[in-house]
Structure 1
Amino acid sequence: MKAKISSTQIRPLSAAVALLLCGGHASAQQVADAQAANLDTIVVTGTRARNRTALDSTSPIDIVTADDLKAAGAVNGELGQALQTLLPSLNFPRQSNAGGADMVRSAQLRGLSPDQVLVLINGKRVHTSALVQTESTTGLGTTPVDLNAIPISAIKRVEVLRDGAGAQYGSDAIAGVVNIILDDSPHGGEITTSYGAYHTDFEPTKRTITDGQSSFTSAKFGTELGSGVGGFLRGGVEVNNHNATNRAGFDNFAGDSTPDNLKLLGKVNYAAGDPKLENYSGWLNGALPLSDAATLYAFGTYAHRHSTGDNFFRYPDDAANVKSIYPDGYRPVGLGSSDDIQGTAGVRGRLGEWDYDASLTYGDNDFDYRLRNSLNASLGTASPTSFDTGEYEFAQTVANFDATRGVNLGGRDYTLALGAEARHENFQTHAGDPASYAIGPVTGVPIGAQAGTNLTPADTADVSRNVQGVYAELSGNLSDALFVDAAVRYEHYDDFGSTTNGKLSARYEITPQFALRGAVSTNFRAPSLSQIGFESTSTGYDNNGNLIDSRILSVNNPIARALGAKPLQPEKSHNYSIGFTATPAEKFDVSLDIYKIDIDHRVVLSEQIGGDALTEFIASHFGIPGVQAVNFFTNAVDTSTKGADLVANYRLPLYEGTLTLTGSYSYADTHIERVADTPAELVALGNDNVLFGLQSRNILTNAAPRNRGILSARWADSKWSLLGRATRQGSTTRVFDFGGGFTPTQTYAAKWQLDAEVEYKFTPTFSVAVGGINLTDNYPTRSSDDINYFGNLPYDIISPIGFNGAYYYARARLTF
């Protein structure tokens, strides 16, 4: 079919473009009927009742469709970035110069820690990554789920429950649940390819830069299994690549004022931006009826990712350099390799009055970190320049049995759900090659591979645990207007004991157009195995720019115990929410939810504890010289988070098409209620040694934006789809503690981001789209001279708008 744009199409196109200036959130389907169907989708997250939709659920639930994800314009097909673009309550900042954290990015829900949100695939628990985030700002000390390891083309929809759900799903669901529903179509397929790049005017160096070129290709196909029996097999592959970006400024430092160092003044010596990424992934989803009452099902995902990221520059006459190897200095390059696999197999069906689901899920993440363009200065001229610094692995096996049935109590029908879960977890680390941690013959210089979190044989961990849990849930209408859902869950951990949690939620329909809803729950998060067993040795820069040798110690390490470390306890929360949903008109709906989350005993990585007294204490009591700083995990803080979420949708016919307007807003404010006292053992080593200082407080309270708002407009007819999105990223604050009372603080102002996309269907099966993210080429506030590391890092990483500038892309899609 030959494409032709008529004058009748140009008029609505012009009108829609004007309306698109309102900005937007790509949460609408391409037509109003599809959007209405989206709101009426039966949700499977947060309740075992069989007939609840997003609007009549007892807790707030966002539904993000496959079309929404495509229109998010995610760089390199990143699921996490797409969800941040679409959901104001979810934050997914980019890291830089943060080791493996550049590659495994952390997602926050409602401003809480990345490990306080539970991720499911088709309702089954997803394993976390193996990499411990020890060099990041967001999620410091956590091992989050790697959302970007889940192929974005595999997704039918995403249900995001913005409420605590520990009584229904167990550990980690303090902030909420992200449930990813896989594509299950038994027919047809799709091929999508896109290409994009950043093109920006970079003010700090007065240059126009084009970089970060990204390509993405996915293909998927479905077929029936068994003629006419309802079986299917759906699967696909993705290949995506993303070139590095660099937004470093001119260097005004140059280390010690030696002639060779001074030659580097005014040059771009650092690299600040995205790492280079290569991604290959695949997925399968299938089901085969065994009889009228039983169906065998299986699904799984696999992803391999390789990253190449830069670290801080080392100057020619730096103690960390060997000039005969690097006469002009060097910038170590980190090489990360991640293999991630998740698979589930099970049987579901009906036995008597019960619907049952029995499944076994296995997940594993293996992360290997290497360095090139580095050296171990203590080895002198004999030092290699490439190192394997260590390997991390986390494996999880989960057996689930769930059963539901209808029951009649007092003349009313209810849904009763019972279930049990058994989970085995294992976390292991493996030492790097000997040269990465060797203590060479050259003294007075840093030990170990530069820019590496080096794992020595003494650091390696192999820790496991078993978890058993049971739950019960009863839901139904107590009256025609009042729906109630009550759940209780008991879990036992073989490493710290048992916990019981409950949730009571309800929805009261005042009129068919207006309803109140609310929930009260207790939730928990077990300390991760990595927080219990992880140890590492590294040489890096402290806050004053000095190279130091430091160690992260497990709470079971005798040195940590001598410094006051105690066995970790689980985090426990009390969640409260109240809100309303309203449909004042057929094509208009709105919801508002206000919440409070109190969390006790939050697990954090302590401040870096250092000083001459510490070095002497470790040397004299444990015979280990040269340790200048240590960290360990601790239940150091209680917090309280208060917030609100607002979502509104309006749909109306416009010219031969449909216009959907959406507005959403999220506010989350976290305050610290209690900080644990500094152990007496640390007080004896110096008053500056605290468990939880200014920088750690900053990470938990205001390093993430307290508020984000998204406005959208989307118009579509049978040929055109036009999208505009305006996002207001709230302000953030960064605090550094350089010691001696010098604590520079800067607040980065709120910023607006404008995105847009135009898609045209040349045929019913083939379409092309062009779009842009941050079309106004907006940047965060420039960092002050106290924070920008001598001009090298002109922008901070904590702003959700990022510091890469404008991104443009084109996409083609063929369905069959």
Structure 2
Amino acid sequence: LVNGKRRHVTSNFGVAGNGEMATDLSFIPTSAIDHVEVLTDGAAALYGSDAIAGVINIILKKNASGGELNAGYAGYADGGGGTDSWSGNIGLGGDRGFVSISAEVENRKSVYRFSNPSYANCLLDIAACQAYAEANGRDDLLSRISDDQGAILSPRFPALNGWLNPPQVHRKIASFNAGYDFEDGLQFYTFGTYGKKTAQSEENYRRPSQDGGYVNPVTGEVTHMYPYGFNPSEASEETDYDLTAGLKGFLGAWSWDASTTYGRNEMDVYTLNSMNFSLWNDFGASPTDFYDGTFYATQWTTNVNATRDFDVGLAAPLTFNAGVEYRRDEYGIEPGEPASYYGAGASSFPGYNPLGTGDYSRHSYAVFADVILNPTEKWLVDVAGRYEDYSDFGSKAVGKLTTRYDFTDTFAVRGTVSTGFRAPNMGENYYSAIQVSPTGATATLAGASVGNGLKPETSENLSLGFVFNPVPNLTMTLDAYQIKISDRTYIGSFSYSMAQSAATRTGRTTGSWNADLPDPADTDGDGVPDDAYNPILGEALVAGGFISDPNDPSAPGGSFDQTARANIDLSFFSNVLDTKTTGVDFVTNYMSEFGWGTIDWLLAANYNKTEVTRAGRAPGFESIPLFTEANISDIEHNSPKYRVNLAATFNWDKFSLALRESIYGPQYTVASLAGYEQFADQLDLVTLGGGAYYKQEIGTLALTGFDLSFRPNDAWTVSVGGDNVFNEYPDKIPSAVWNYDVANYQNGNNAYLTGSPIGYFGARYYARVSYRF
């Protein structure tokens, strides 16, 4: 929320992040923000979908005079990420109105951390690699030696691949917040933001021979477009704006508020410094830069709410708040230029084919009410409910009951029982795309096309907490909670190649697909066709235009190379998970007062545990398991079980020093032990589903930061600081596994384990100066 009003979401659909379409806070200038409020318990009962976890309410400045100017620079000690930022705010107005205007500009460079792919290690010592390849039947390495020695002349050789490198970003944004008081308590308010953001990120290296080569029809000569290989880039140009206008006032004993908010985010996507392998193979020519298409998302929300206090003879007046809301969501994907999706498409990020694009919308109505009462001076009760009706999936009702009892001035007990829901976002329902990697391709189906479509996630929340203020300047809170979420949306990925015999294959008995005559393949390279293609996935791929129907020779070809079907995956979203999370939050604050100044102390700790209580199968694909026990283990253990934040802020005279320590508990994922049995005594083993796995654990991490500020007068403030000042990095892949993979030319790009909460870039330092007037 911004000033209590729902802000629109981004159009950038996070397929890799399991479908998130979050609000992009980077389009709100930090210089415009006055403070931030957080509501957690039972927020969905008041604010509806997306508020299962709570609500963040950003309150903008309302200054009618004065302002500020800020400048800063930051970068990483190990290189990269240099960021300069500039921002300002100015307030204008008089006794009855104000306009607060803010702006911000940021230029952030990418952080490059490169590693050697296995074939680069091969080319570093060709004689040793060739001897190994001939002794072990590694034709892939022999091909690298014969066809890809041009990679040696790449300027980054041998560290050809980047890993998890954030993009370079250029951002320009502005905002305003305004209000005017009329006669008789009537107030007009309006606020909005506008911004543009460009970003570019370099992707993994493509080998010289990876384009397949163009064969000259006259001479038979084979040529490659990039003799030394290439690193393509993905780029975006994003425009975002938001406008709210409203009136509020009084009608008798009622206070009322009516407003409307419209927001839009639009992103043009490009692939740069690349090529289209299919165009090169077919015609001996290809563009290097491609327009891949455009995403857009809009939200238009209009609401009216009214509040009144009633004297019902209790310890305090009863507060009644009710309202209605209408919201319209739109989402669309516009196709890219034909060269971006022809055949295999632009390497790294194929353009959006017209078959997977379109414009979609839905609307919803909501009504809500909230009653707050005090049966006694020490007892508060808050009851709320909300009913929403969506045009695409139907209706949902949620509610909450919150209570607090103050036994004394220093001790209170509080608790909440609530339900909530999250409607499937527009991207989950309608996003459809093809993603091509150096070794295969993935088709993503729109969630609305699978089974009966997506339904909302629902939640049941219980919490019980204690508030304790034993002495002046000391506050302590302890809250325990349990959150059950049903029908969680999850993206499942399946291999079109089933890796099982036709005799044991399961599939549909109806439909045009011939389940008895699937295309054969030889995935293990023994010369025997032993791999059948899944007919259920085949039908979905045909329907989406990704492959041609093998039962109809006259059918047009699809988007995927028919000779590469063993490397095709199909992904889609479905409501297949139920989870239960239990946890505890503890927060304490204390201020120490001395003759020379003060120290503000903070300790905040959290522990939680997530369990998967149901792992289902996707509608229409019931014969295909979505989860193994290893997948479930990863969901339950791939985030830290606990986190502790410690802080102390020293304030004396014109100086302020903040010291911070963030501690993250251990986390792990599992990987199959197959191929590494000889190192079993060096690995932390676990048995799941009858299979042997080893843990890839990121241990406890502690990050130290500081901020030192000097304020010579009321106008100027100069600050320097750092995050992760001891240059901590997450744990690496177990050394026995990594060393074996490197020795056998089969290592991945990154020696560090993924999923760390601290990033992979080391210490970061910054300096900034502010002037207030």
TM-score (norm 1): 0.77
1:93-135 deviation line (CA, Å, top 9, x unaligned): xxxxxxxxxxxxxxxxxxxxxxxxxxx111111111111112x
| 8 Å contact kept, 1:461–1:534 | no
Give the Cα–Cα distance (whole angstroms) in 2 for the partners of residues 737 and 315 of structure 1: 29
Match of 1:620 among 537, 550, 557: 550
Find 1:215's aligned residue among 84, 92, 112: 84
* Larger mean Cα displacement after TM superposition, 162-171 or 772-781: 162-171
Asked whether the 8 Å contact 2:82–2:108 carries over to 1, the reply is yes
For residue 567 of structure 1, the aligned residue among 446, 449, 453 is 453
The structure 1 residue matched to 2:6, chosen from 110, 120, 125, is 125
Which residue of 282, 285, 292 maps to 2:184? Answer: 292
Could you tell me which of 651, 654, 663 is aligned with 2:591? 651
Evaluate the alpha carbon distance shift between residue 598 and residue 133 of structure 1 in structure 2; reply closer, same or farther with a 3 A threshold.
same
Q: Match of 1:768?
A: 718
Match of 1:345 in 2: 245
Secondary structure of the residue aligned to 2:293 is strand
Give the drift of 1:373: 1.4
Any conservation in 2 of the 1:251–1:264 contact (CA below 8 Å)? Answer: no
Aligned 1:160-309 pairs, distance under 5 A: 160-200=38-78, 210-225=79-94, 228-229=95-96, 231-254=97-120, 256-257=141-142, 258-259=144-145, 261=148, 264=151, 267-272=158-163, 273-309=165-201
Deviation at 1:692, TM superposition (A): 3.8
Specify which of 607, 616, 620 is matched with residue 667 of structure 1: 607
Q: Secondary structure at the match of 2:550?
A: helix
Query: Shift of residue 320 of structure 1?
Result: 6.3
Matches within 5 A, 1:54-73: none
Structure 1: distance between partners of 2:620 and 2:243 = 48
Residue 356 of structure 1 pairs with residue 256 of structure 2: yes
Cα deviation, residue 815, structure 1: 0.4
Residue 303 (structure 1) shift: 2.3
CA contact (8 A) 2:576 2:618 kept: no
Q: 1:196 & 1:340 partners in 2: Cα distance? A: 25
Q: Classify the secondary structure of the residue corresponding to 1:148.
A: helix
Whole-angstrom CA distance in 2 between matches of 1:528 and 1:240: 30
Note if contact 1:566-1:634 (Cα within 8 Å) is conserved in structure 2. Answer: no
Letter aligned with residue 583 of structure 1: N
CA-to-partner distance for each residue in 1:194-251, whole Å, 9 max, x for gaps? 1111113xxxxxxxxx2211111101011224xx22x211011000111111122233
Contact persistence 1:183–1:285 (CA under 8 A)? yes
Determine whether 1:491 maps to 2:491.
no
Structure 1 distance, partners of 2:40, 2:725, is: 30
**What residue is the counterpart of 1:780 in the other structure?**
730
Residue from 447, 456, 477 that aligns with 2:374: 477
Distance (Å, rounded) in 2 between the aligned partners of 1:621 and 1:397: 47
* Shift, 1:775, TM fit: 0.6
Query: Which residue does 2:36 correspond to in 1?
Result: 158
Give, in angstroms, the shift of residue 696 of structure 1.
5.8
Do structure 1's residue 577 and structure 2's residue 463 form an aligned pair? Answer: yes
Q: Distance in 2 between matches of 1:388 and 1:663?
A: 49
Whole-angstrom distance in 2 between the partners of 1:736 and 1:310: 28
CA distance in 1 between partners of 2:395 and 2:148 (Å):
58
Residues of 2 paired with 1:193 and 1:504: CA distance?
A: 46
Letter in 1 for 2:666: S
Match of 2:406 among 484, 509, 516: 509
Cα deviation, residue 383, structure 1 = 1.4
**Following the alignment from structure 2 to structure 1, what is the Cα–Cα distance between the partners of residues 297 and 61?**
27
Question: Does structure 2 conserve the Cα–Cα contact (< 8 Å) formed by 1:221 and 1:234?
Answer: yes
Deviates most, 523-532 or 249-258:
249-258
CA distance in 2, matches of 1:556, 1:456: 18
2:394 and 2:375 map into 1 onto residues whose CA distance is: 36
Does the C-alpha gap of structure 1 residues 291 and 655 become closer, same or farther in structure 2, counting only changes over 3 Å? same
Q: CA deviation at 1:678?
A: 5.7
Pick one of 275, 278, 290 that aligns with 1:378: 278
Identical positions, percent: 33
Deviation of residue 658 (structure 1)?
1.1
Residue 299 (structure 2) pairs with residue 396 (structure 1):
yes
Q: Which amino acid aligns with 1:524?
A: F
Asked whether the 8 Å contact 1:760–1:769 carries over to 2, the reply is yes
**What is the rounded CA distance, in whole Å, between the counterparts of 2:442 and 2:294 in structure 1?**
19
**SS at structure 1 position matched to 2:440:** strand
Q: Which residue in 1 is equivalent to 2:203? A: 311
Aligned to 1:525: 422
**Number of residue pairs aligned between Structure 1 and Structure 2:** 659
Structure with max Cα Rg: 2
Q: Is 2:751 the partner of 1:794?
A: yes
C-alpha distance after superposition, 1:455-481 (max 9, x if no partner): 100000311111000011000211111
Give 5+ residue unaligned stretches, structure 2: 121-139, 215-222, 498-531, 543-548, 676-690
SS of residue matched to 1:584: coil
Shift of 1:730: 2.3
Q: How far did 1:497 drift?
A: 1.0
Q: TM-score, normalised by structure 2?
A: 0.81
Q: Which residue of 2 aligns with 1:727?
A: 662
Query: Mind listing any 5+ residue stretches in structure 1 that lack a counterpart?
Result: 1-119, 201-209, 440-446, 542-546, 684-688
Seen in structure 2, the aligned counterparts of structure 1 residues 718 and 640 have a Cα distance that, compared at 3 Å, is same
Instruction: Describe the superposition over 1:761-815 as per-residue Cα deviations: whole angstroms up to 9, x where unpaired.
Output: 1222111111111110111101347589825312244211111111111110100
Once residues 808 and 758 of structure 1 are traced to their aligned partners in structure 2, the CA distance between those partners, rounded to angstroms, is 12
Distance 1:222 1:591, change over 3 A: same
Counterpart of 1:457 (choices 318, 339, 354) is 354
CA contact (8 A) 1:236 1:283 kept: yes
Contact 1:754 1:773 in 2 (8 A): yes
- Offset at 1:158? 1.1
CA offset at residue 147 of structure 1? Answer: 2.3
Alpha-carbon offset, residue 372 of structure 1:
0.6
CA contact (8 A) 2:8 2:23 kept: yes
Aligned counterparts, 1:101-112, within 5 A: none
Kindly tell me: are residues 371 and 678 of structure 1, through their superposed partners in 2, closer, same or farther at Cα, counting changes over 3 Å?
closer
Report if aligned partners of 1:155, 1:183 keep a CA contact under 8 Å in 2.
yes
Change (3 A) 1:341 1:156: same
Question: Where do residues 584-733 of structure 1 align in structure 2 (5 Å cutoff)?
Answer: 584-611=470-497, 612-614=532-534, 617=539, 618=542, 619-620=549-550, 623=555, 625=558, 626=562, 628-677=568-617, 681=621, 683=623, 689-693=624-628, 697=632, 700-733=635-668
C-alpha contact 1:607 1:693 (8 A) present in aligned 2: no
How far apart, CA to CA, are the structure 1 residues paired with 2:23 and 2:457?
18
- RMSD of aligned Cα (Å): 2.3
2:342 corresponds in structure 1 to 438
Note the C-alpha offset of 1:151.
1.9
Deviation at 1:708, TM superposition (A): 1.3
1:67 aligned partner: none
Alpha-carbon distance in 2 for matches of 1:432, 1:307 = 18
Q: 1:495 to 1:736 in 2, by over 3 A?
A: farther
From 444, 457, 467, the equivalent of 1:552 is 444
Paired with 1:774 and 1:649, the residues of 2 have a C-alpha distance of 23
Q: Distance in 2 between matches of 1:805 and 1:568?
A: 40
Report deviation, 1:321: 7.0
Aligned counterparts of 1:290 and 1:700: Cα–Cα separation in 2: 55
Cα pair 1:487 1:502 within 8 Å, conserved: yes
Question: RCO higher in 1 or 2 (8 Å CA, sep ≥ 6)?
Answer: 1
Q: Does 1:540 align with 2:453?
A: no
